[in-house]
């Protein structure tokens, strides 16, 4: 194993998420994260430094590695790139990337919990996410075209991009809405409810999104056959430190509460609420989805798709998405930790 928490850069250069985990009260989470490095090959000897300085990209890559390990997927680390060359039981390549905040915008850790969320905040989150996810995907697609596509171990095999959003505060609120706009140009389903059934009335689409400088980005990378070389996108908006909290909740002695929304396969409303750690359940892969390209030059193996708790694809004839998720699959989660301290005499007396 690799110890991610032996400081190798000055504190002034350390990422806020790393600094938060470095607090002694988070020793359980630190020990668990170090276990994620077991079996991982640090090919360029930069993982610890990048974990401490940029954090999210390394976190996402380690998370994916542990999901693959949990699924008994064998990775060949002898190649310098892409991130994961899978050789058993499938033959494919996966490149990990994250969406970061724009230079002029707030970073994901700059949350202000004292302010209530505005009614239109969800739309702002989805708009920002759509811009940043599309930007990250376009850059990685260009890298595929210019570099990865010429590698012998990449040729004639499915190529998947694993994309995670860390582009703004409260990014988890986007669920799959932004990525659906990016890949399929799909905004929402129009429907009415009758009893325990939804009657589909139609669909709302979005063809492009406008950047602050007025430039337009065309959406629907998969539904318009703009990226046939990319077989699928792996996506999760809940692969965060909150995932670590959920995995170690039984050994972390603090009071932890999970606010969540989960897919209800048998009803119209999600399972949602807030539960103490003793009543809350979450698995490592919960919330991890795969979004398929209907025009993929090299389609993804069906058995690989079945490993994911949710999947989405596009019906090219009916111009609409289709997919499925396991009952109870997570699509939104926030964690609150409560700690109580004994006051000394001066504090009790307000001194």
| pLDDT tens digit sequence for 51-85 | 999 999 999 999 999 999 999 999 999 999 999 99
Residues with pLDDT less than 50, the chain: 346-351
- Which residues make beta-bridge pairs with 102? none
132-182: pLDDT as tens digits:
999 999 999 999 999 999 999 999 999 999 999 999 999 999 999 999 999
> What pLDDT, on the 0 to 100 scale, is given for residue 347?
44
Distance (Å) of CA 25 to CA 20, 30, 46, 91, 254: 9, 10, 27, 42, 9
> What pLDDT, on the 0 to 100 scale, is given for residue 203?
87
Could you give the CA distance from residue 87 to residue 127 in angstroms, rounded to a whole number? 37
Its pTM stands at: 0.93
Could you give the CA distance from residue 15 to residue 40 in angstroms, rounded to a whole number? 22
Distance (Å) of CA 269 to CA 33, 182, 261, 264: 34, 25, 10, 7
- Which residues make beta-bridge pairs with 337? 256
> What pLDDT, on the 0 to 100 scale, is given for residue 291?
98
Could you give the CA distance from residue 173 to residue 210 in angstroms, rounded to a whole number? 21
At 140, list the tokens: 């990685």
Residue found under tokens 């995932």: 243
At 238, list the tokens: 């809940």
Distance (Å) of CA 183 to CA 10, 57, 96, 315: 40, 21, 17, 13
Residues 6+ apart with CB under 8 A from 207: 185, 218, 219, 220
At 221, list the tokens: 């990378």
Angle at 82 between CA 68 and CA 140, to 5 degrees: 110
Residue found under tokens 């019906």: 315
- Which residues make beta-bridge pairs with 311? 290, 324
Residue found under tokens 């991009």: 161
């Amino acid at each position: 194993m690799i110890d991610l928490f032996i400081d190798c850069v000055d504190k002034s250069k350390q990422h806020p998420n790393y600094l938060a985990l470095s607090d002694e009260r988070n020793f359980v989470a630190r020990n668990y994260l170090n276990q994620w490095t077991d079996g991982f090959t640090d090919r360029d000897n930069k993982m610890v430094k990048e974990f401490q300085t940029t954090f999210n990209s390394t976190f996402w890559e380690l998370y994916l590695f542990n999901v693959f390990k949990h699924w008994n997927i064998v990775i060949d680390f002898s190649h310098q790139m892409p991130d994961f060359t899978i050789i058993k039981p499938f033959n494919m390549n996966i490149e990990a990337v994250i969406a970061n905040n724009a230079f002029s915008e707030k970073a994901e850790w700059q949350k202000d919990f004292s302010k209530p969320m505005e009614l239109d905040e969800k739309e702002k989150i989805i708009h920002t996410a759509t811009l940043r996810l599309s930007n990250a995907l376009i850059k990685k697609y260009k890298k595929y075209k210019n570099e990865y596509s010429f590698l012998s171990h990449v040729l004639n095999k499915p190529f998947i991009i694993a994309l995670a959003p860390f582009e703004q505060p409260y990014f988890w609120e986007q669920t799959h809405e932004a990525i659906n706009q990016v890949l399929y140009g799909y905004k929402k389903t129009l429907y009415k409810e009758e009893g325990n059934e939804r009657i589909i009335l139609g669909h709302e689409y979005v063809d492009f999104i406008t950047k602050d400088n007025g430039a337009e980005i065309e959406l629907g990378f998969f539904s318009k056959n703009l990226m046939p070389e990319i077989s699928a996108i792996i996506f999760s908006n809940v692969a965060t430190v909150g995932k670590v909290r959920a995995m170690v909740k039984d050994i972390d002695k603090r009071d932890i509460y999970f606010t969540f929304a989960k897919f209800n396969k048998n009803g119209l409303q999600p399972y949602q609420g807030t539960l103490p750690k003793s009543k809350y359940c979450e698995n490592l892969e919960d919330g991890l989805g795969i979004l398929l390209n209907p025009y993929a030059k090299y389609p993804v193996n069906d058995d690989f798709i079945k490993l994911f708790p949710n999947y989405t694809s596009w019906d090219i004839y009916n111009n609409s998405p289709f997919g499925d998720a396991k009952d109870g699959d997570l699509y939104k989660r926030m964690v609150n930790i409560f700690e109580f301290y004994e006051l000394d005499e001066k504090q009790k007396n307000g001194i």
